[in-house]
Amino acid sequence: MSSAAEQLASSINLSAFSKAEDLKKRLWFTLGALIVFRLGTYIPLPGIDPSIMQEIARSNSGGILGMFDMFSGGALSRMTIFALNIMPYISASIIMQLLSSIVPSLEAIKKEGELGRKKINQYTRYGTVLLATAQAYAIAVGLPMMIGAGGHSAVLTPGFFFIITTIVTLVGGTLFLLWLGEQITSRGIGNGVSLIIFAGIVANLPFALVSTLELGRSGAISVVMILFLMILVVAVIGFIVFMERAHRRVPVQYPKRQISGGRLVSGDVSHMPLKLNASGVIPPIFASSLLLLPVTISSFLSPQRVLDTSGTFWGTIKNFFSTLPDHMSHGKPLFIFFYVALIIFFCFFYTAIVFNPEETAENLRKNGGFVPGIRPGKSTSEYFDFVLTRLTVIGAAYISFICILPEIMMSQMSVPFYFGGTSLLIVVSVTMDTVAQVHSHLIAHQYEGLIKKGQLRGRTR
């Protein structure tokens, strides 16, 4: 059966794609939904001075504001209705995964199958509303305190009405993107939430390329260095594809079964694939957020951008963050050290959440399966934990290398932020997932064609 599937997959060509009407409809729907998202990133919040916001965004492009602005496709720097993007939902999903592993009641709901999954998704949506409301309130309160170089506030008419309208608009924008992502998942191609983040990153890649070429034109970077950078980006993308597809096949064997007639059938032998990078892009995102948060607060609290708060508790916080050492900026040794340490920590932490060796070993035992040479139960669980630990060490080293290399390039060559390791990981991973789904639809279409031909031949006979 597998050989037939491989032969069918190899026979797929452009003619098969042109005949797959359902696939073309899904692709057009996905493209239209992403266009709607991009249009929304240019609709500004009411009461915002766009020129002041652009000035503040440029001065904080290297902090956490720059990272989340990359995910939102520039919506945050323009302070549009999609400024929060889909990030509150991502945070709520991660929190729910953490709670599902810690809280016994949520863990029991998670084991209820499809019904439990729907309940967890519902709780995640409630958490998205709460997080989006809190973040929107923080933005609504903090925007009037942002002062441009000319002493003008980023908000034209601050007050209670501005706070209410900002909260409603930002929360509504996040919920709309959540609904749009679900529509893409069900009626389009790929994971909708991932594609929205993917579209935000890709939309700014042309600007990053132009910025790099402009550095070459002005003489800041040599032509040879630009060519080396382009070759390096292609090599890194190829390395990411290789590592993301890498997995360890753990052999799983099932005992002999007795069928009708008293005959014994040899047991099935299969493999359990364990990904080399089970944590995905979560570790670099979390590590970047934690490291860049103090630097961002320090830049926001500088006297040129914030109203005078001397002699207050807020002023004490401002003085603390304004004394941050310069060696905690991008590309500096101390920054890289803590960056790698946090990436390694979150790799092990998140892998432990998404893969439970004890639960996997128990499910395998209930189904009658076992790993050859390993006793079912606790020994199998320890074996899975041992294999997963070694894989996570390699995966953490791989992610650390991918993220450190752009950090060094940014500090030494002023490479645009969009060539960072996190953005490349997201773009490559989402592209691979989407291409795999397109390929699956084409294979299904080929199978449907073969089945229809077989039915027609049967009727003619």
What average pLDDT does the structure give for the chain? 76
**Confidence bin at 394 (pLDDT 50/70/90):** very high
Q: Does the pLDDT value for residue 167 go beyond 80?
A: yes
Q: What is the pLDDT of residue 306?
A: 43
pLDDT grade, residue 8 (50/70/90)?
Answer: very low
Distance in angstroms (rounded) separating the CA atoms of residues 433 and 14: 20
Say which residue, 444 or 243, is predicted with more confidence.
243
- Which of 283, 274, 276 shows the shortest CA–CA distance to 250? 274
pLDDT digits (tens, 9 = 90+) for 308-367: 444 455 455 555 545 554 555 556 677 788 888 988 988 888 888 778 888 888 888 877
C-alpha distance from residue 282 to each of 239, 343, 417 (Å) = 19, 9, 18
Per-residue confidence (pLDDT) for residue 274, from 0 to 100:
86
pLDDT at 166 over 70: yes
Q: Which amino acid is at 370?
A: F
Lowest-confidence segment of 147-161, 183-197, 415-429 by average pLDDT: 415-429
Q: Report the C-alpha gap between 204 and 426 in whole angstroms.
A: 14
Question: What confidence score (pLDDT) does residue 65 get?
Answer: 62
Is pLDDT above 90 for 231? no
pLDDT in tens, 18-58: 677 788 888 899 999 999 999 998 888 888 877 777 777 66
Q: Residue 265 phi/psi, 5° resolution?
A: -110, 130
Q: What is the pLDDT of residue 235?
A: 87
pLDDT digits (tens, 9 = 90+) for 266-317: 556 778 888 888 888 778 877 776 776 555 555 555 444 444 444 455 455 5
Using the predicted structure, report yes or no on whether residue 230 has a pLDDT greater than 60: yes
Cα 24 to Cα 352: distance, rounded to the nearest angstrom = 39
Question: Which residue in 382, 381, 371 sits closest to 255, CA to CA?
Answer: 371
Share of the chain above pLDDT 90, in %: 11
- Statement: residue 133 has pLDDT above 50: yes
Q: Which residue has the higher pLDDT, 11 or 56?
A: 56
The pLDDT of residue 149 is: 66
Q: What is the pLDDT of residues 404-425, one digit of tens each?
A: 877 776 666 555 555 566 778 8
Pair of tokens at residue 122:
């519902």
257-258/264-265 β-pairing: antiparallel
Q: How sure is the predictor about 183, in pLDDT bands with cuts at 50, 70 and 90?
A: very high
| Domains in the chain: ranges and CATH | 21-203 (1.10.3370.10), 224-419 (1.10.3370.10)
Mean pLDDT of 258-265: 53
Two structure tokens written together for 111: 């084991």
Among the residue ranges 219-228, 347-356, 414-423, 431-440, the one predicted with the least confidence is 414-423
Structure tokens at 275: 């990904």
Give me the pLDDT at residue 38, please: 92
- Give the pTM: 0.76
pLDDT at 11: 44
Taking residues 218-224, report their average pLDDT. 76
Contacts of 220 (CB under 8 A, 6+ apart): 414
Span 381-402, average pLDDT: 90
**d(C-alpha 434, C-alpha 440), whole Å:** 10
CB 169 within 8 A of CB 82: no
